[in-house]
A = this chain, B = another copy of it.
Amino acid sequence: MTISLSAELWPEVQPEAARRLMLAGVESFARRGYHATTTRDIASAAGMSPAALYVHFPSKAALLFAISRSGHEQTLGLVEDVVARVADPVERIGLIVEDFVAWHARRHTVARVVQYELQALPDEEYEVVAELRRGIERIVREVITEGAGSGLFTVGDPHTAARAVLSLGVDVARWYSDRSRQTPQELGQEYRELVLRMLGTSTS
Interface residues of A (CB under 8 A from B): 31-36, 116, 119-120, 155-157, 159-161, 163-164, 167-168, 170-172, 174-175, 181-182, 187, 190-191, 193-195, 197-200
Contact = CB atoms under 8 A, between A and B. Distances in A.
B197 A156 contact: no
A194 B161 contact: yes
Contacts of A198: 194-195, 197-198
A112 B39 CA distance: 26
Nearest to A187: B160
B119 A193 contact: no
B161 A172 contact: no
A119 B164 contact: no
Contacts of A163: 175
Contact of A35 (B35, B116, B171, B199): B35
Nearest to A36: B35
A194 B119 contact: no
30 contacts: A32-B119, A33-B33, A33-B35, A33-B119, A33-B120, A34-B35, A35-B35, A35-B36, A36-B120, A116-B116, A156-B190, A160-B187, A160-B191, A164-B191, A164-B194, A167-B167, A167-B168, A167-B171, A167-B172, A167-B174, A167-B175, A168-B168, A170-B174, A194-B198, A195-B198, A197-B197, A197-B198, A197-B199, A197-B200, A198-B198
Contacts of A155: 194
A190 to B, nearest CB: 5
Most buried by B among A159, A161, A187, A190: A190
A132 B190 CA distance: 27
